[in-house]
Amino acid sequence: MKEVRLRFAPSPTGFLHIGGLRTALYNYLFARNKGGKFILRIEDTDRTRFVQGAIENLIDSLKWAGITYDEGVFVEDGKIVQKGEYGPYIQSQRLDIYKKYVDQLIENGYAYYCFCSKDRLDHLREEQRIKGQVPKYDGLCREIPLDEAKKRIASGEEYVVRLKLPHNKDITFNDLVRGKVTINTNEIDDQVLMKSDGFPTYHMAVVVDDHLMGITHVVRGEEWLSSTPKHVFLYQALGWESPEYVHLPTVLNKDRKKLSKRQGDVSVEDFKERGYLPEGIINYLALVGWSPEDGDEIMNMDELVSKFDFDRVGKSGGIFDTDKLNWVNAHYIKQYPIEKLAELSIPYVVDSGLLKEAYIRENFEWYKVLIDTIKEAIDKLEDIPKHIGFLFGDLKITEDAAMEEINKEHVPDLLKTFIEVVNSHDEISLEVANGLMKEVQKKSGVKGKNLYMPVRAAISGNVHGPEMSNIIYLLGKDKLVQRAQKVLNNLK
């Protein structure tokens, strides 16, 4: 049986879009599920859109997300390298290969030279638009004899090469998501295959590369569905077997519109910067357009690989729901090893100005307790500063419920006892913190809510929140006394 081979072939035009990451993920999951190979190819034939550093960013984003590949373009020691026996894997380095097959198509009557100027084509499109027609090339240069065309080229005329589609012919292909798709050639343009600068268009390059690299399944966004008949025709014209096609539904926002920068985060970099974990992003993205048979929603990469198939990918657009992403990500935050979570959180806390990195490093065990204390309350790492703010600076008690607790009759005596108990210890270790409220209970005779609520309100400003013993440990002796004393002074 033929080895399954899939590829992700982005253009280096900037940061990787979250929809692009999902395409890469589905390619990866299917390849791994079938025990096949996954390849990263760079499609950079549109030189006008090339962005410096974009290849490195793409590779970095895939690595961060845990999507590994077997062949293609890698970064090693800061340099771009290519590995695998089907290279080069960067299209701009394959121009001679494309030219060979474009020449073959021309000689066999499946393509032709076109000399129409940009002005003529713009004028033609405008005329068609006014008449309510589908804008497409009118075939003016289709019938120029090959000898004449070659003479015009020899005399220095500028040209492109176009695909010569037969008139009124149904082209049918099978799509693993949409089933049988048929499009008539009268609805399709005579596509440019080679531009005047000698670079192929996407349509030519993608067919040649996928064939020569042995790609068995082409998995891409549904925006390419209408172009696929051209690709199928090219495979036939070159005498090659077509791969299987899978056109994925578009990733949409809650308004069922395409995700765009205007409405918020769209690049992998955006989500990474906000402190989403790769495990959360990958788990959630898998569910945007696909669902496993067992209905599970929380799955790690190995589970996704074992359950994934294109049979369960939907035809309609997948809705990107940030609330659902937050729920999935929060699950991974709760499960994360605390050492690793604390390490990842440092830049967010330092940027907030609450703590300096040197202090965090010196007091890392204390810091780990801090992160462990609030991790249940956060969806992503950028949320951390607002949940730890109550530990720093002067405490202002503004919550009504907290004020109510503090103003109870027994509170002045309770706080005096609390201060005495805290002062009886040289320092508040985690062990001391765990038993401190029991000591206060024993000494004051107050217990239950009457004990915990007022003390919590006095030291944290809230009646609900993280584990009380953790708050006591994190605040430490001086702050505990200072805060309780301030409340006591105000009550007097």
- CATH number for the domain spanning 232: value is 3.40.50.620
Same domain for 357 and 446: no
Q: How many domains does the chain have?
A: 4
Single out the residue in 197, 232, 248 at which a domain terminates.
248
Same domain for 121 and 234: yes
| Other beta carbons less than 10 A from residue 169's beta carbon | 13
Q: Is residue 328 part of a domain?
A: no
Whether 264 has a pLDDT exceeding 80, the answer reads no
Q: What pLDDT is attached to residue 50? A: 84
Instruction: Return d(Cα 98, Cα 398) in angstroms, integer.
Output: 70
Same domain for 111 and 81: no
45-59, 258-272, 316-330: which range is least confident on average?
Answer: 258-272
Same domain for 463 and 354: no
Binding residues for ATP: 261
Mean pLDDT of 327-355: 97
Instruction: Return d(Cα 438, Cα 132) in angstroms, integer.
Output: 82
Domain with 427 in it: what CATH number? 1.10.10.350
Q: Is residue 332 part of a domain?
A: no
Single out the residue in 192, 220, 248 at which a domain terminates.
248
Residue 252: pLDDT band (50, 70, 90) is confident
Binding residues for Zn(2+): 114, 116, 141, 143
Instruction: Return d(Cα 450, Cα 87) in angstroms, integer.
Output: 73
Under 8 Å between Cβ of 278 and 65: yes
Under 8 Å between Cβ of 162 and 121: no
Mean pLDDT of 82-108: 96
Q: Is residue 317 part of a domain?
A: no
Same domain for 218 and 98: yes
pTM of the model: 0.92
- Which of 384, 341, 373, 391 lies closest to 466 in space, CA to CA? 373
Same domain for 108 and 15: no
Q: Is residue 443 part of a domain?
A: yes
Same domain for 443 and 298: no
Q: Is residue 319 part of a domain?
A: no
Same domain for 243 and 270: no
Helix axes 449-460, 468-491, angle to 10 degrees: 80
Q: Is residue 387 part of a domain?
A: no
Instruction: Return d(Cα 372, Cα 467) in angstroms, integer.
Output: 10
Which residue range(s) make up the domain with 256?
A: 5-89+252-312
pLDDT digits (tens, 9 = 90+) for 436-467: 999 999 999 999 999 999 999 999 999 998 99
Q: What pLDDT is attached to residue 492? A: 66
Q: Dihedral, CA atoms, 202, 207, 210, 214, nearest 10 degrees?
A: -170
Same domain for 205 and 132: yes
Q: What would you measure as the largest C-alpha separation in the chain, in angstroms?
A: 107
Of 100, 151, 254, 261, the active-site residue reads 261
Q: Of 131-140, 277-286, 481-490, which one has max mean pLDDT?
A: 277-286
Same domain for 234 and 112: yes
Q: Is residue 386 part of a domain?
A: no
Binding residues: 114, 116, 141, 143, 261
Same domain for 123 and 225: yes
Q: What pLDDT is attached to residue 365? A: 96
| Other beta carbons less than 10 A from residue 200's beta carbon | 26
**Six-digit token pair at 122?**
């713009």
Helix axes 364-374, 338-352, angle to 10 degrees: 90
**Six-digit token pair at 332?**
């991974």
- Phi then psi for residue 148, to 5 deg, are -65, -45
Active site residue 408: no
Looking at every residue in the chain, the average pLDDT score rounds to 94
Q: What pLDDT is attached to residue 319? A: 86
Single out the residue in 232, 248, 264 at which a domain terminates.
248
Instruction: Return d(Cα 98, Cα 205) in angstroms, integer.
Output: 7
